[in-house]
Amino acid sequence: MAVHNIIVLGAGVSGLTTALLLSRDASKRVIVVAKHMPGDYDIEYCSPWQEQERATWPFLNKLAQEHPEAGVHLRTTKVYARERGETTAAEQWLASLVQKDPWFKDVVDDMQTNNVDKGERGTLQLREIPPEELGPGMRHGSQFTSACINPGVYLPWLLGQCLKNGVVFTRATQQPAEAEAEVEANADLVVNCTGLGSQTLGGVQDRTLHPVRGQVVIVANDPGALYSVSGASDGDGNDDNDDDGGGGGDDDETAYIMARGAGGGTVLGGSYQMNRSEALPDPNLAVRIMRRAVALCPGLVGEGRGIEGLDIVRHAVGLRPLREDGPRVEADRVDGLPVVHNYGHAGFGYQASFGSASAAVKLVNEALLRGGGKAKL
């Protein structure tokens, strides 16, 4: 049986998931080459279309129920849409999540008919939140069960599954054309999962790719559910909670709460700052994030308490890879070498990971059938 050597560039959630699916085929020898690996803390390593997300849900749901060691948990989720609508980039980022009739309604309804995850977690069926339960300034809300991932557990789990299947990992900061000394392999095909690295990757240099800065606060408090709101305020640029003296508007800020399992703490967000890449957290933004979180879920700290009731673990900043034309999952050729791209998922890399990786693997198989050259990496 002929063995094809596949190089996967990048070890974020897209690269690891793609490598895992490729490694399930004994006819493929998979090598992952990456600047950052699970366990690293770096602003560029942000991993600690609807169709791809739709395909990913069953995979995550199965992991949550059958493989708790993967760090995926099912949690009650509540999303709210403000009366003002979704007009800013930050609001549009979450627009599909807060629609009254969202695309994923059929997905969670299907899970309901399959009798999955009932009991203490409640029903998976999407439920419209009654008007009397909505806070001021909200036009509608929905409740459903969603998968929440603890990246600190999930990425090492993916890496471990890859290693079990014989995937080889090597750390390299060079461009593919410069990495020959580090990776002794003849590549039949390269899979590009470099995220923002595709801005400068030789032969790719995608100028439609932009960094979107996200800042969050990790706390030990448990809100009991996941929460998201379309936007950080009512849109006047002066959030009611923004009395920290630090200024700042709300057009590139968001409000969400994600309680991660397996000791991952609760993530309070956040921001959606286009073409900004400052690595250090903004302390004034951190205060606004915490105040919005407490306003959204008072139970996070207890009745009558403010942000002083938050048990802060750390502050974090990451860059999302936003591509103007949406995620790039397609076949290409670079200097005669077959290449499959899988990058540019902005803030939805995890929830689209399995679907996008499956699509990438299909493109890999099609490219190998067509044949192609080899390149020494």
> Annotated binding site for FAD, which residues?
194
- Known binding residues: 194, 256, 347
- Maximum C-alpha span of the chain: 68
Exposed e or buried b for every residue in 53-83, given b needs 16+ CB within 10 A?
A: bbbbbbbbbebbeeeeebbbbbbbbbbbbbe
Residue 285 main-chain phi, psi, to 5 deg: -65, -40
- Known binding residues for D-dopa: 256, 347
Is residue 377 within 8 A of residue 185, CB to CB? The reply is yes
Give the whole-angstrom CA distance, residue 194 versus residue 34: 8
Is residue 367 within 8 A of residue 338, CB to CB? The reply is yes
